Each structure stands twice: as structure tokens, then as C-alpha cells.
Structure 1
Amino acid sequence: MTTVTARTVEYAADGLTMIGHLALPAGAGRRPAVLVGPEGMGLGDVERRRAEALAGLGYVALAFDLHGGRYLGDPEEMLARCLPLLADPERMRGIGHAALDVLRAEPRTDPDRIAAVGYGTGGVIALELGRDGAGLRAIGTVNGLATGRPGETARIRCPVWAGVGSEDPIMPPAQRDAFTAEMQAAGVDWRLTVYGGALHAFHHPPVDHATVPGVGHHPGHARRAWRDVLDLLSECVPVAE
């Protein structure tokens, strides 16, 4: 792991001033980059640590914001903001592109080697960037398997990896099937990993506030999902090329 520097970055999106977390690896040259999207609660320490872990492996990493610098620990408040957002592809794409523009503008970023990895709402935003034709090298989404508008998934020109818990009531088998059918019909290079016995947001450490039903941490699968993310990045945007 290399020495990491990190800082906050402010940018406008969705009518808000977003506050992202940018992590840079040691050195001065350009590196591949990763956009990191958070769960519906918003950007928190978990995503900041993930960005820094990726920077430690040699990536430029930006954990992007969803709620204008706020972390929504109240499930009702989170759903009141996220459900309309998830129903509006243009808003999601606006949030994603604003963060992607910040990442591309960073001098350390190799603009031709960028991946997007998101969790929950952040994962759906990563997919929507792909459906909007963003020039990504890879898309990873954990428990964010939303389908898109007809015909737009064919715009995804990079591998897609998705992970989901087998017992996730928010992403039930019917939704998984619809997602994989959409990917297959569009000719996307896709993979789905189902983690046996895991609930929604199984990757996220326990929190000290209420959550929506069906959420639960699974330490073993959380480690496996992180390794799967790193395998995707190693394949599609290797640090040494």
C-alpha cells in the first residue's frame, strides 16, 4: 500500500453543494481512477475509508455525495429523498456526472481509465452513468440492481459486476432476474454474485441508528464482496498497465 492523501471537494449537483471525499495515491503521475457511490444514507466514513483503501492500492478515488453533505440516519428521511431520486434517471445521472467530472478534472486521474463502483443507491447511479454512455472501464454495483429505461442499457460498453445477498428482501429474486435479463438482452459483459444467507447492505458495518427492514451485516461476505470489487478493478483498470 502506498501513502495516501485525502481531502474534501465541493461541487454542485441536484441543486445542492455536494461534499465528496477525494483520495490520492503517492506519486505524481496519472493513475486509473474509481468513482465510489454510497448507500442511500449518503457519504459516510465507510465510503471514505473505501476511497482511501483504493488510493492505497494506487487508484485515484472519489467517494461522492448524495445529500449535500448530509448523512441521513433517519430511515424515513432517507427514503423520502432516495425513492424519488431512484425513480428519476436524469437526476441520478446528474449526480453521477457531476462527481465524474470532478474525478476527471483531477490532474492525477487518467481520464481514459475510470471505473464506477457503488452500493445501493450509489450502485444504481453507477449503472445509470453506464446507461447514459459514460466512458467507464468497469461498473460494479452491490445491492443496487435496478433496471433501466428500454434500450438504454445497450449503451453500457464495459464489464458490469453485481453482488447481492440471497436473502435481500429489497432486491428479491424477481428483481435479480429482471436485471440479468436486461443485461443479457443488451449484450453487456455481465456477472452476478449471489452471497448465500446475506441481507441487504450486508457489506456495510453495523450502524448506531435505525435502518430499513431487511438490512444486516455479514462480515464474511463483506470481505468477499470487497475482494470481488478489487478483482473487477484489477481486470479492467489495473494500476500497472
Structure 2
Amino acid sequence: MTTITTRTVEYPADNLTMIGYLALPAGAERRPAVLIGPEGTGLSDVERRRAEALAELGYVALAFDLHGGRYLEEPEEMLARCMPLLADPDRMRGIGHAALDVLRAEPRADPDRTAAIGYGTGGAVALELGRDGVDLHAIATVNALTTGRPGEAARIRCPVWAGVGSEDPIMPPAQRVAFTEEMQAAGVDWRLVVYGGALHAFHHPSVDHTVRPGVGYHPRHAQRAWRDVVALLAECLPVTD
């Protein structure tokens, strides 16, 4: 019985050597490909397991790196790196394009059938790829209702799905409104799911998070959000034999 295969991949981005995690489905044929962006803390086993889960469904999946192989557990260090990054769409796009180039260069990946999903800062990177006009089949983002530069959302060429916790203080109702107004004004095919009672990073097991206000794991909604992302991929980027 053949199984998925995985390996790390090194590539340059943002003046760092990034260390991504590539998961390949069984078989030898080309498959649709998915980028997976991590929370601001950086690439962890949570995103690696998601890459493996997508490979088991038949996708080539690359969980990309944000911090040159580091995982930033200390909130101060994480914010010191991520806040300037989130304020610089071109830097985010550079990180996203570098990872996308690696993914599309993988022989098992169909470079014309790709999607980008992401969480927190990684979700903001996925959205910026869309605003940069990248040919994606779907974008999914959790905890990343970030808005872009005026008018650039009109470049988004695919459906956008977004999920957020109702009690997320980092993505409050005003941010939800700004995001959905941007998507609507740009004519994007968008969806927003608000998960009742969930905090920021509700999808991320608490054992892998520094405890801080407004952040918390919600097991049921984490499972629901993952099912919603998989359903989006099945709709927009189906795996066909």
C-alpha cells in the first residue's frame, strides 16, 4: 500500500532561509496543489499535520515558513516581527510568491491548479497573493480578515472563504465589516463564517500556544473550520483521477 511522502524544503524569502514542509500524495501523477500559511508564531506541527491531511486527500501541499525556521513562542518577539510584516503588503507578497514558486516547481504539483489557505499572518499572506492577481482557484483564511490597499481586492480571481471567532478581540466586528465591504465592493465571490464563542487562534491546539488574553483553542469549531476549508477545496479545486 502506497502512502503519502513528506520532506522539508529550503528556499530564500524575506532575507531569510525558509524551511517549509512539503507533503505529497500517493501515486506519480500530477495533483492540484495547496499552500498552507501558519499563524504569526510560525510553522509548527499543526500546519505540518494539515499538509499531511491534504496529501491524504490527494493534494500536493506545502506548509510555508514565516521566520526562517523559527517558532516565535514569546508574544513580544512574535509581534515585533509580524506587525511590520502585516503593515507591508509587498513583503507579505514576497513571502507568498517564494513559497508558491517552490510549490509550483514540484513535479507532482499541477502549477495551473493551486489554492492558498492560511491562519493569522499566513492567512494575510494568502489574501495578498490574491490581491496581487495570482491565478488561484481558492483562498481560505482563518483569523485573518485583513484589508488591503485601495482597489487591489479587484484583482482577486477566485472565491474567498474566511472564518473568525465571534469573541476574537484581534479581529473584532468592525474588522469583519471592513473586510466584507472590501470583498463586496471588489465583486469577489466571498463567504464569512463566524464561529460562536470562539477566540483568536481557536483552530490551534492550546498546547502549542503561549497563553494570552483573547487566544484560545475551541476543539469543535477547529474541526468545523477544517471541514469548511476542505469543502471549499473540494468545490473549487477538486482532486480528479
Q: Could you give the per-residue CA deviations for residues 11-69 of structure 1, whole angstroms, max 9, x where no partner exists?
A: 00000000000000001100001000000000000000000010011000000000000
Question: Could you say what secondary structure the match of 2:187 adopts?
Answer: coil
Partner residue in 2 for 1:49 = 49
Per the TM alignment, residue 209 of structure 1 is displaced from its structure 2 partner at its CA by 5.2
Aligned counterparts of 2:132 and 2:163: Cα–Cα separation in 1 = 21
Partner residue in 2 for 1:15 = 15
Per the TM alignment, residue 207 of structure 1 is displaced from its structure 2 partner at its CA by 2.5
Aligned counterparts of 2:2 and 2:133: Cα–Cα separation in 1 = 32
User: Residue type matched to 1:180 in 2?
Assistant: T
Moved more, 149-158 or 201-210: 201-210
Partner residue in 2 for 1:190 = 190
Partner residue in 2 for 1:122 = 122
Aligned counterparts of 1:65 and 1:20: Cα–Cα separation in 2 = 5
User: Residue type matched to 1:40 in 2?
Assistant: G
Aligned residues: 241
Aligned counterparts of 1:59 and 1:218: Cα–Cα separation in 2 = 26
Question: Could you say what secondary structure the match of 1:207 adopts?
Answer: helix
The percentage of counterpart residues that share the same residue type is: 83
Q: Could you give the per-residue CA deviations for residues 141-172 of structure 1, whole angstroms, max 9, x where no partner exists?
A: 00001000001000001000000000000000
- Pick closer, same or farther for the CA change 1:209–1:231 going to 2, 3 Å: closer
CA contact (8 A) 1:74 1:209 kept: no
Question: Could you say what secondary structure the match of 1:18 adopts?
Answer: strand
Aligned counterparts of 1:112 and 1:232: Cα–Cα separation in 2 = 17
CA contact (8 A) 1:42 1:67 kept: yes
Partner residue in 1 for 2:163 = 163
Per the TM alignment, residue 191 of structure 1 is displaced from its structure 2 partner at its CA by 0.2
Post-superposition, which runs of at least 4 consecutive aligned residues in structure 1 deviate over 4 A? none
- The yes-or-no answer on 1:147 pairing with 2:147 is yes
Alignment of 1:196-207 (within 5 A): 196-207=196-207
Alignment of 1:1-241 (within 5 A): 3-207=3-207, 210-240=210-240
- Pick closer, same or farther for the CA change 1:166–1:148 going to 2, 3 Å: same
Per the TM alignment, residue 211 of structure 1 is displaced from its structure 2 partner at its CA by 3.9
- Pick closer, same or farther for the CA change 1:32–1:208 going to 2, 3 Å: closer
**TM-score, normalising length: structure 2:** 0.98
User: Residue type matched to 1:135 in 2?
Assistant: D
User: Residue type matched to 1:91 in 2?
Assistant: R
- Pick closer, same or farther for the CA change 1:209–1:38 going to 2, 3 Å: closer
Aligned counterparts of 1:143 and 1:36: Cα–Cα separation in 2 = 14
Structure 1, unmatched stretches of 5+, are none
Aligned counterparts of 1:209 and 1:115: Cα–Cα separation in 2 = 27
Aligned counterparts of 2:191 and 2:163: Cα–Cα separation in 1 = 8
Aligned counterparts of 2:142 and 2:208: Cα–Cα separation in 1 = 22
User: Residue type matched to 1:158 in 2?
Assistant: C
Aligned counterparts of 2:2 and 2:218: Cα–Cα separation in 1 = 28
Per the TM alignment, residue 112 of structure 1 is displaced from its structure 2 partner at its CA by 1.1
Per the TM alignment, residue 213 of structure 1 is displaced from its structure 2 partner at its CA by 2.1
Question: Could you say what secondary structure the match of 1:126 adopts?
Answer: helix
- Pick closer, same or farther for the CA change 1:98–1:232 going to 2, 3 Å: same
CA contact (8 A) 1:131 1:152 kept: yes
**TM-score, normalising length: structure 1:** 0.98
